[in-house]
Chains A and B, each alone.
Chain A
Amino acid sequence: MRTRFQQGLDDLRARLLHMGGLAEQAVDRACQAYIDRDLVRCQLVLEGESQINVAEREIDEQAFDLLALQQPAAVDLRFILAVTKINSDLERVGDQAVNIAERVMDMVELPKAELPIDMARMAAAVSAMVRRSLESFIEGKAELAQAVLEMDNVVDRMKDEAFITLVKTMNDHPDVTRQALDALLIARNLERVADHATNIAEDVIFWVRGADVRHNVGHEASVHQAVTDTH
């Protein structure tokens, strides 16, 4: 048993979970800031970004050391590769939260407009995807990750619907064009967060099962495997 190596892997896992918590919190805060037009939460998101960036560098550094010094193989190698990719996705999730917060700060400066979209519903779906992708990592369960992949289509549809609705709003009510444009950009940011959650789920499947399901390649096989696993 390579005790030191195992400790290194455990430490890497703990760091990534901490970073996951920060990124998840940033998205939740940014979404809540949109709903409540809350500048304090926006500020918290902006301030939190540097913590996420520091965490990203530390995780990459540790993963690099483990690869260089411990020559991991099989499940351990897949785990470290997955961690480095999830790390990058979480950092991007943090960036998207910052983008949302900046949009909200812009919107708050403008007169409040009632836009005919359910951003809260979309935000809830995206938050759930991030949470579940991280749960799948914590549990090391490909079935949980698989469920996240299925959710991505739902969020994509929500974004498409929001785009159509908001473009129509801009045409019909030019006076709220800037508010609608901010909302449209936020919908796009949320959809990007969902994409990162999907990437994380794919990386968990790669780690646990050794299957590359990116770009829908091997997706069907993976669904089949998930069904088999649950029986």
Chain B
Amino acid sequence: MGVGIKVNKLNAWFGKTQALYDISMEAPANHATAVIGPSGCGKSTFVRCLNRMHETVPDAKATGKVQIGDIDVYNGSSAVQIRRRIGMVFQKPNPFPTMSIYDNVAAGLKLNGFHNRRRLDEIVERSLQVAALWDEVKDSLRKKSGASLSGGQQQRLCIARALAVQPEVLLMDEPCSALDPISTGKIEELIFQLKENFTIVIVTHNMQQASRVAEFTGFFLLGKLIEFDKTEKIFTTPSDKRTEDYVTGRFG
């Protein structure tokens, strides 16, 4: 099951440049929360702070409190532990090109020392089924490489890979920006189903996508969280003029 995310006064920097200012919000368990805003507003930095990917950038740092379920992300947990519980899917599908479809999905588990063959088979099949890719690849699991799949299939493969380690939270950073409308539709449908078992935070430039898949939406501008509310409120009657100007396309 997914767990809730509580962020309190999160600040982030790249060197001396502050990228996030006092972000506080809660993403409820087993729901999708969308993060929207113009380029450079800090939305990707925000999600990368949730699983401590932000600190992999030289000179980058973050302060504040991020609580994911019972884990205090910035206090007493290792980054590796955290990333096991928080899966991430990126803008561009990034399967391991030399690995088979099967090995792509099993990679995270094997890396964690999991080698029970029968159990691995089960998890790979289940992950591919949940990612809605199983029927398309079940006959070529070990024959085809991850890179041989179409863009949409590769992205679902990356989702299956993230799911295989059984995370509680799935972070998605513009997961459909490189996909055609049909593949995008499949990923969106998948997000809808994944919510039953995971908490999802999705960064998207596509406001229609945010309104389609997320129950909650946060609008970021210049590193600040301007408004956070139910998605239908953000897209029909936002409280802040800046949110309204953004969702109506008056800037951004």
Contacts and interface: CB of A to CB of B under 8 A. Distances in A.
A210 B248 CA distance: 15
Contact of A1 (B207, B234, B237, B251): B251
B208 A77 contact: no
Interface string B236-251: 1110000110011111
B21 interface: no
B249 A78 contact: no
Nearest to B237: A210
B14 interface: no
16 contacts: A1-B251, A2-B250, A5-B249, A71-B207, A71-B208, A73-B207, A73-B211, A73-B248, A74-B234, A74-B236, A74-B237, A74-B238, A75-B244, A77-B236, A78-B236, A210-B236
Nearest to A210: B237
B235 interface: yes
Interface string B180-209: 000000000000000000000000000110
A73 B207 CA distance: 9
A76 interface: yes
A218 interface: no
A74 B217 CA distance: 14
A71 B209 CA distance: 11
A72 interface: yes
Interface residues of B, dominant DSSP: helix
Interface in B210-236: 211, 234-236
Interface string A61-85: 0000000000111111110000000
A39 to B, nearest CB: 49
A1 B236 contact: no
Interface residues of A, number: 12
Interface string A1-18: 110010000000000000
Contacts of B251: 1
B61 to A, nearest CB: 35
Nearest 3 CB-CB pairs, A to B?
A210-B237, A2-B249, A73-B247
Contacts of A76: 248
A73 B236 contact: yes
Nearest to B239: A210
B237 A72 contact: no
Interface string B57-75: 0000000000000000000
B235 A1 contact: no
Nearest to A76: B248
Nearest to A79: B248
Contacts of A210: 236-237
B248 A74 contact: yes
A1 B250 contact: yes
A88 to B, nearest CB: 20
A74 B244 contact: yes
From B207, B243, B247, residue with most partner A Cβ within 10 Å: B247
B249 A1 contact: yes
Interface in A71-109: 71-78
A77 B237 CA distance: 10
From B208, B243, B244, B251, residue with most partner A Cβ within 10 Å: B244
Contacts of A71: 207-208
Contacts of B237: 74, 78, 210
Nearest to A5: B249
Contacts of A75: 244, 248
A137 B231 CA distance: 27
Interface in A104-122: none
Contacts of B208: 71
A2 B234 CA distance: 19
A209 to B, nearest CB: 8
A8 B251 CA distance: 17
